[in-house]
């Protein structure tokens, strides 16, 4: 149970640190190879690009978890305090609907790419792995939004608005 709680609290952080750190090292090695040794790695740019794609989608989930995404906070303050929590929940529900649509469409796209057998040009990894990034990222967004909605419903009005600042 402690492991599951640890993953719940840190899954996105773990992925972000690994992906960003590895991509940075790969890019650093490529720069060294190109400008110091005057030789280039054929695979480094492609791998780093794919890591940044995954990093972007996982970062969306992390932003939702940390309640740090850009919102129209000014509009929130047009409502009385007792309604702000519900306006925030409605926003999360709308975001959930969008994320769910992305997940559903990503399933078909990923399956199609895997069936086609398409692979990346330099490394030869299945392109379906790259197309799993939006599926995984937005599935995590859906999970984090459900957690956020539950947290807001259980909390007092002021506590649920922890990410809002003016």
The domain segmentation of the chain, as residue ranges, is: 2-160
Separation between Cα atoms, residue 142 and residue 99, nearest integer Å: 6
Give kind and range of the element (H or E) at residue 22.
helix 2-35
Tokens matching residue 28: 């650093």
Separation between Cα atoms, residue 152 and residue 101, nearest integer Å: 23
39 SS3 class: coil
Q: How high is the pLDDT of residue 72?
A: 65
pTM score, two decimals? 0.85
Contacts of range 102-110, beta carbons closer than 8 Å, 24 or more positions apart: 102/134, 102/138, 103/134, 103/135, 103/138, 103/139, 103/142, 106/131, 106/132, 106/134, 106/135, 106/138, 107/135, 110/135
Separation between Cα atoms, residue 112 and residue 126, nearest integer Å: 12
Closest C-alpha among 29, 35, 61 to residue 138: 61
pLDDT string in tens for the chain (166-residue length): 788 888 888 899 999 999 999 999 999 999 999 999 989 898 999 999 999 999 999 999 999 998 887 776 677 788 888 888 888 899 999 999 999 999 999 999 999 999 999 999 989 999 999 999 999 999 999 999 999 999 999 987 555 555 544 4
């Amino acid at each position: 149970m402690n492991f599951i709680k640890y993953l719940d609290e840190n899954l996105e952080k773990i992925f972000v640190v690994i992906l960003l750190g590895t991509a940075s090292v790969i890019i650093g090695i490529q720069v060294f190879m190109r400008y110091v040794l005057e030789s280039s790695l054929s695979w480094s740019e492609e791998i780093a690009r794919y890591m940044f794609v995954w990093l972007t989608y996982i970062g969306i989930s992390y932003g939702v978890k940390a309640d740090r995404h850009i919102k129209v906070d000014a509009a929130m303050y047009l409502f009385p305090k007792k309604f702000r929590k519900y306006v925030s929940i409605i926003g999360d529900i709308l975001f959930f609907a969008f994320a769910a649509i992305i997940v559903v469409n990503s399933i078909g796209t990923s399956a199609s790419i895997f069936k086609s057998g398409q692979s990346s040009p330099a490394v030869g990894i299945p392109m379906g792995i790259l197309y799993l990034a939006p599926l995984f990222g937005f599935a995590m967004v859906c999970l984090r939004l459900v957690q956020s909605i539950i947290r807001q419903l259980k909390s007092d009005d002021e506590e649920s608005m922890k990410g809002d600042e003016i």
